[in-house]
């Protein structure tokens, strides 16, 4: 039926024209953002990033992974075939058969989308997203019927049958064609692909990328106050959000009832980008904050008109949201950029954060300590101090835990293991200063950069092969944040270093005398930030411990609540994050929670009531060392 084929061609080009108009409008909104380099080569990398990087994340949920492969794969194949056969007016029957097959796969996937949305998890946005199974199904059904109409003899097909199918095709095509221009659900299909090509962190496709971008303070760059202060490709990334709510389900602050939902935060950025109100948001609101009372525009201040400051200060910067996001959106970068503007322009931080930042500026310690007391934890251990001109293998950077009497036990246990392995190491003592991690996460970029430059100059005075630290926050600063400031060091976490020594035989471990059941809590800044989840477990296995894994562990481990300055800003919720994490540990039946971070130790030991004992990896390893004859 030639007229059906011509009609499909008309609908195709109408959809293309509509899509183009909407895309031009959306590009205009993205261009409100600040300049950023345009990596045109990134467009060529989209297929790999889509098929490998995105599906690596999506595959964590097998149901959705298979559903997405069917729906998206079928739709892309069908659209490509329609573009070839009908866009170019080839009208080849064999292409129709291929189109029919692709549409059938898409229809099957649409059924599973519908099945998921019959009783959806609370994390999923509803509203316009609830119609998606029907519009996707309509497009697939229409394409199946019309390609059959084009294939079978004309006498077997009537206009009464073909016209409703053309209307279905028009309705299904409108979902995609109008989506980008009107901000509908299928906006993500176009914005998402472009986001993959122009990702703000293109290096994350080849390596773990977590370092924050330094501000140019000399150029009066003070973070983000308005949507238009974001770089244009960040605005594009917000538009890529599919509102799946995986970030929401992973967020420790949201689980604790604090006023943060990373999904809504990203959608609020979209509201500000396109000018509007949050009244139509169809997902979970920020706990305790009603919908419809906030609005934004590209040139309008985000805080407090679009979001409340408490929302920003609730974030622990744990990157659980980033780890779970199938569209690879960088939520933490956006939050820190917004914090930077508040901290650097008004200084209006809640809780004890202002006092801590003042301490860092005045004493280079978070607690306002005299740096001369930093080495008191080892006053009786005869630990060598680093000396200019004297080469040592390991420079042991203790971190702020050196001032905490509880964590000093961990440091002393670590020294015991280093000596057992005959490692040539030294400490900085009163020459050690805070790395600036807390300042940077709280948005005080000026204090961070000042401390970073001071530390880089200080490290340059000494000769060492590598830095070892028991603090993942120190590790992350030196390894991932300092290179952009000019500091390049080989930095290892103590669990990584001890595991290497044990594997090489340099550190001889015996079975632990403590036979209690153990579970291991992954620090966010060791696991998600630096990808180290194996070494601590290898150490525990090496001393005869079989770890009872928590439901959320490894790269998906739940935060202790100690990162991002959250204990300082202390935004109230319905419960405490460390209490939630300790409940995870208790559910395993373990009597010991093994940790590998001073902040995790402090947060989990702060949980009251009956709970497992909290011990650092270094303490457990030291207990297992053979007793000298």
- What would the pLDDT profile of 55-96 be if each residue is shown by its tens digit? 899 999 999 999 999 999 999 999 999 999 999 999 999 999
What pLDDT does 151 receive? 81
CB 619, CB 409: distance < 8 Å: yes
Query: Within 259-330, where are the H helices?
Result: 262-274, 309-313, 320-324
What pLDDT does 156 receive? 53
Residue with tokens 């562990």, as numbered in its chain: 553
Q: What is the C-alpha separation between 242 and 254, in angstroms, rounded? A: 19
CB 453, CB 507: distance < 8 Å: no
| Mean pLDDT computed over 492-519 | 95
Neighbours of 436 (CB within 10 A): 27
Residue 312: pLDDT over 60: yes
Q: How confident is the model at residue 363 (pLDDT cuts 50, 70, 90)?
A: very high
CB 270, CB 296: distance < 8 Å: no
Among 462, 435, 457, which residue's Cα sits nearest to residue 598?
A: 435
Among 617, 602, 594, 597, which residue's Cα sits nearest to residue 523?
A: 597
Q: What is the C-alpha separation between 497 and 499, in angstroms, rounded? A: 5
Q: What is the C-alpha separation between 577 and 552, in angstroms, rounded? A: 14
pLDDT in tens, 275-289: 999 999 999 999 999
Q: What is the C-alpha separation between 51 and 46, in angstroms, rounded? A: 8
CB 528, CB 559: distance < 8 Å: no
Q: How confident is the model at residue 519 (pLDDT cuts 50, 70, 90)?
A: very high
User: Half-sphere exposure of residue 496, counting CA atoms within 13 Å on the CB side?
Assistant: 19
CB 181, CB 25: distance < 8 Å: yes
| Mean pLDDT computed over 139-161 | 79
Phi-psi region of 487 (alpha: psi -120 to 50; beta: other; left: phi over 0): beta
| Mean pLDDT computed over 468-497 | 98
Q: Does the reported pTM lie above 0.85?
A: yes
What pLDDT does 153 receive? 66
Q: Which structure tokens are listed for 27?
A: 């590009």
- SS3 at position 74: helix
Q: How confident is the model at residue 629 (pLDDT cuts 50, 70, 90)?
A: very low
Lowest mean pLDDT among 6-15, 313-322, 329-338: 6-15
What pLDDT does 348 receive? 97
C-alpha R_g of the chain: 28
pLDDT in tens, 236-247: 999 999 999 999
Residue with tokens 């150490």, as numbered in its chain: 539
Percent of the chain topping pLDDT 70: 98
What pLDDT does 1 receive? 65
Q: How confident is the model at residue 157 (pLDDT cuts 50, 70, 90)?
A: low
Residue 628: pLDDT over 70: no
What pLDDT does 2 receive? 81
Q: What is the C-alpha separation between 289 and 590, in angstroms, rounded? A: 37
What pLDDT does 260 receive? 98
Looking at residue 522, the DSSP 8-state letter turns out to be: P
Among 398, 469, 465, 405, which residue's Cα sits nearest to residue 430?
A: 398
Q: What is the C-alpha separation between 176 and 225, in angstroms, rounded? A: 32
What pLDDT does 3 receive? 80
What pLDDT does 211 receive? 96
Q: Is 9 exposed, middle or buried (0-12, 13-18, 19+ CB in 10 A)?
A: middle
CB 185, CB 132: distance < 8 Å: yes
CB 239, CB 273: distance < 8 Å: yes
pLDDT in tens, 190-216: 999 999 999 999 999 999 999 999 999
- SS3 at position 491: strand
Neighbours of 376 (CB within 10 A): 14
Q: How confident is the model at residue 155 (pLDDT cuts 50, 70, 90)?
A: very low
Residue 154: pLDDT over 80: no
Q: How confident is the model at residue 112 (pLDDT cuts 50, 70, 90)?
A: very high
Residue 304, preceding peptide bond in cis (omega within 30° of 0):
yes
Cα first-last separation, the chain: 94
Handedness of CA 401, 402, 404, 407 (dihedral sign): positive
Q: How confident is the model at residue 319 (pLDDT cuts 50, 70, 90)?
A: very high
Handedness of CA 87, 90, 92, 94 (dihedral sign): negative
């Amino acid at each position: 039926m030639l007229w059906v084929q011509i009609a499909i061609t008309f609908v195709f080009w109408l959809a293309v024209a509509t899509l183009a108009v909407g895309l031009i409008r959306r590009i205009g909104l993205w261009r409100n953002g600040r300049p950023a380099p345009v990596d045109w080569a990134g467009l060529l990398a989209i297929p790999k990033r889509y098929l490998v990087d995105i599906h690596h994340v999506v595959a964590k949920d097998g149901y959705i992974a298979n559903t997405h492969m069917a729906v998206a794969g079928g739709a892309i194949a069908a659209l490509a075939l329609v573009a070839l056969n009908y866009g170019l007016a080839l009208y080849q029957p064999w292409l129709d058969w291929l189109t029919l097959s692709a549409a059938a796969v898409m229809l099957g996937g649409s059924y599973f989308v519908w099945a998921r949305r019959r009783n959806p998890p609370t994390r999923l946005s509803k509203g316009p997203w609830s119609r998606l199974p029907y519009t996707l199904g309509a497009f697939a059904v229409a394409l199946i019927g019309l390609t059959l109409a084009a294939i079978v003899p004309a006498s077997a097909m009537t206009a009464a049958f073909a016209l409703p199918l053309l209307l279905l095709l028009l309705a299904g095509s409108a979902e995609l064609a109008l989506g980008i221009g009107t901000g509908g659900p299928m906006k993500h299909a176009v914005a998402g692909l472009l986001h993959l090509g122009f990702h703000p962190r293109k290096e994350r496709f080849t390596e773990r990328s977590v370092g924050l971008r330094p501000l140019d303070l000399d150029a009066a760059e003070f973070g983000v106050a308005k949507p238009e202060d974001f770089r244009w490709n960040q605005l594009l990334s917000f538009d890529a959000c599919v509102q799946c709510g995986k970030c929401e389900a992973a967020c420790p602050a949201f689980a604790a009832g604090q006023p943060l939902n990373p999904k809504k935060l990203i959608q609020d950025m979209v509201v500000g980008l396109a000018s509007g109100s949050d009244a139509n948001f169809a997902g979970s609101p920020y706990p305790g904050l009603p919908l419809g009372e906030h609005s934004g525009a590209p040139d309008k201040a985000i805080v407090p008109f679009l979001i409340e400051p408490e929302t920003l200060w609730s974030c622990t910067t744990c990157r659980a949201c980033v780890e779970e996001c199938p569209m690879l959106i960088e939520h933490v970068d956006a939050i820190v950029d917004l914090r930077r503007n508040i901290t650097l322009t008004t200084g209006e931080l809640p809780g004890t954060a202002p006092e801590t930042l003042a301490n860092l500026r005045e004493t280079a310690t978070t607690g306002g300590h005299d740096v001369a007391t930093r080495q008191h934890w080892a006053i009786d251990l005869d630990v060598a101090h680093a000396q200019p001109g004297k080469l040592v293998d390991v420079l042991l950077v203790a971190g702020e835990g050196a001032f905490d009497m509880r964590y000093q036990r961990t440091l002393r246990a670590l020294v015991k293991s280093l000596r057992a392995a005959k490692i040539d190491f030294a400490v900085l003592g009163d020459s050690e200063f805070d790395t600036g991690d807390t300042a940077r996460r709280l948005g005080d970029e000026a204090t961070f950069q000042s401390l970073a430059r001071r530390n880089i100059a200080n490290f340059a005075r000494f000769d060492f092969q590598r830095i070892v630290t028991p603090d993942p926050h120190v590790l992350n600063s030196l390894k991932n944040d300092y290179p952009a400031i000019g500091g390049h060091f080989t930095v290892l976490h103590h669990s990584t270093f001890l595991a290497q020594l044990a594997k090489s035989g340099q550190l001889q471990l015996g079975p632990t005398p403590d036979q209690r059941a153990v579970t291991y809590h992954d620090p966010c800044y060791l696991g998600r930030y630096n990808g180290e989840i194996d070494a601590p477990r290898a150490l525990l296995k090496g001393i005869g411990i079989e770890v009872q894994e928590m439901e959320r562990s490894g790269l998906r481990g739940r935060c202790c609540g100690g990162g991002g300055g959250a204990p300082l800003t202390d935004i109230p919720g319905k419960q405490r994050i460390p209490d939630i994490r300790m409940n995870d540990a208790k559910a395993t039946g373990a009597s010991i929670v093994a940790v590998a971070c001073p902040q995790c130790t402090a947060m989990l030991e702060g949980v009251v009531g009956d709970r497992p004992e909290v011990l650092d990896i270094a303490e457990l390893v030291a207990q297992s060392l053979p007793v000298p004859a």
